């Protein structure tokens, strides 16, 4: 029997992250359900294991992406238990309730969003990179959004141009840059790095009236996490294909 691949999903206790965890487990991965509150992560992992009837293999791991000690502890646990990481899904993020237009945003709201969505994502990636390097063909997927596309937001006829969520859009544009620059750094190592736009999905963040299900959104990230060796790197993809920068 071949050994299971190991995947870590940050912010997997609910929403799209939980669905990504479910789909990766269904595809045969041992999935570490990252959650800043260990109890909520354990509950999500138990629900998913039970719903799947015992086959899939999900385990909770405490991980607050803004807490360096938590990030290091998670990396140490994965190193001790598995010795490598095959898939890292940087899903955890916030869309602050106080997000606003550039002319109005409270700088503290902007700082908080960058701390989670960008600094946290980079810190997690740096901590796990040694373990990703130990895997045969590791995949990193960062959750992004069409609201981070300069082409779409810059087009006055696009509905993306009407949103006043500067903190969210700017942090995800930085996530796109982290994606393309890390892909460049790792070219030739076998590790590929891409970003996934799940589309507007019904979650706490996306709003419960959104047309897409978390399962539909998760599928985009799962596709990028399970790419063939000749798949793309340094790109952002939505369900319909590559998004413009």
- Tell me how far, at minimum, the Cβ of 241 lies from ligand NAP, in Å: 16
- Tell me how far, at minimum, the Cβ of 21 lies from ligand NAP, in Å: 10
Q: 7 or 16: whose CB is closer to ligand NAP?
A: 16
Residue 201 β-bridge partners: 212
**CA–CA distance, 83 with 78 (Å, rounded to integer):** 7
Q: 116 or 233: whose CB is closer to ligand NAP?
A: 116
- Tell me how far, at minimum, the Cβ of 234 lies from ligand NAP, in Å: 19
Length of the chain: 245
- Tell me how far, at minimum, the Cβ of 10 lies from ligand NAP, in Å: 6
Give, in order, the Cα–Cα distances in Å from 26 to each of 18, 48, 53, 86, 216. Answer: 12, 10, 11, 16, 15
**Using CB under 6 A as the criterion, which residues of the chain lie in contact with ligand NAP when the complex forms?**
10-11, 13-17, 36-37, 40, 63-66, 91-94, 116, 120, 143, 145, 197-198, 200-201, 203-206, 210
Contact indicator for 182, 140 with CB cutoff of 8 Å: yes
Q: 129 or 201: whose CB is closer to ligand NAP?
A: 201
**CA–CA distance, 179 with 163 (Å, rounded to integer):** 23
Q: 198 or 234: whose CB is closer to ligand NAP?
A: 198
Indicate which residue of 33, 65, 168, 199 is catalytic: 168
**CA–CA distance, 119 with 32 (Å, rounded to integer):** 21
168 has catalytic annotation: yes
Q: Two tokens at 241? A: 């294909």
> Which residue numbers are catalytic?
168
């Amino acid at each position: 029997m071949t050994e299971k691949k190991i995947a870590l999903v940050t912010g997997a206790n609910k929403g799209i992250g939980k669905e990504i965890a479910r789909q990766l487990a269904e595809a045969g991965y041992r999935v570490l359900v990252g959650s800043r509150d260990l109890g909520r992560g354990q509950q999500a992992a138990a629900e998913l294991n039970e719903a799947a009837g015992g086959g899939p293999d999900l385990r909770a791991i405490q991980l607050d992406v803004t807490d360096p000690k938590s990030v290091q502890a998670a990396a140490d646990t994965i190193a001790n238990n598995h010795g490598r990481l095959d898939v890292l899904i940087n899903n955890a993020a916030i869309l602050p309730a106080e997000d606003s237009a550039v002319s109005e945003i409270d700088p503290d709201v902007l700082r908080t969003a960058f701390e989670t969505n960008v600094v946290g994502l980079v810190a997690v990636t740096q901590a796990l990179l040694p373990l990703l390097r130990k895997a045969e063909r590791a995949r990193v997927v960062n959750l992004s959004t069409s609201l981070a596309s300069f082409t779409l937001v810059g087009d006055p006829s696009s509905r993306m141009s009407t949103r006043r969520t500067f903190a969210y859009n700017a942090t995800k544009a930085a996530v796109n840059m982290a994606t393309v620059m890390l892909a460049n750094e790792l070219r030739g190592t076998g590790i590929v790095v891409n970003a996934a736009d799940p589309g507007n999905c019904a979650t706490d963040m996306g709003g419960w009236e959104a047309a897409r299900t978390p399962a539909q959104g998760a599928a985009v990230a799962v596709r990028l996490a399970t790419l063939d060796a000749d798949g793309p790197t340094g790109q952002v993809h939505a369900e319909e294909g590559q998004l413009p920068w």
